[in-house]
A = this chain, B = another copy of it.
């Protein structure tokens, strides 16, 4: 589908992703090896009193949910920018994160492309928001759209 079919002004449910301890440790061991992401015993001594997921891991979970629940249906050209990616609340082993995305705007360039701005969030099983962000992506459009 092209950018004309992106539902501006709507909020979409992106489904859920459970976060087992194994995944927290595996992601962080490769990309963010701070002790409070990879060592459950030592993480007990950290500010949050236990293992927590890397923020980049949490963002990756959002990306997975938003690709599967929204973007894969469109002719995406590229992601341009992630803005205000706020790590609001710790993500713990055993959490189940549920995503939603709001379509802020679709701006056509009149030459077959549109800039799509979305605001996304992840909540945990206690309905606490753990991540919020704004994403700007370039999606193919019908060339005549304005």
Contact = CB atoms under 8 A, between A and B. Distances in A.
Interface in A58-86: 59-61, 63-64, 67-68, 71-72, 76-86
Contacts of A34: 67, 71-72, 76
Contacts of A82: 55, 59, 82, 85
A86 B80 contact: yes
A21 interface: no
A54 interface: yes
A4 interface: no
A31 B63 contact: yes
A138 B31 CA distance: 19
Given A56-B60, A81-B87, 15 more contacts: A31-B61, A31-B63, A32-B63, A32-B67, A33-B64, A33-B67, A33-B68, A34-B67, A34-B72, A55-B78, A55-B79, A59-B59, A80-B86, A80-B87, A83-B84
Interface of A: 30-34, 47-48, 54-56, 59-61, 63-64, 67-68, 71-72, 76-87, 90
14 contacts: A33-B72, A34-B76, A54-B63, A55-B79, A55-B82, A59-B59, A59-B82, A60-B60, A79-B87, A80-B86, A81-B86, A81-B87, A82-B82, A83-B84
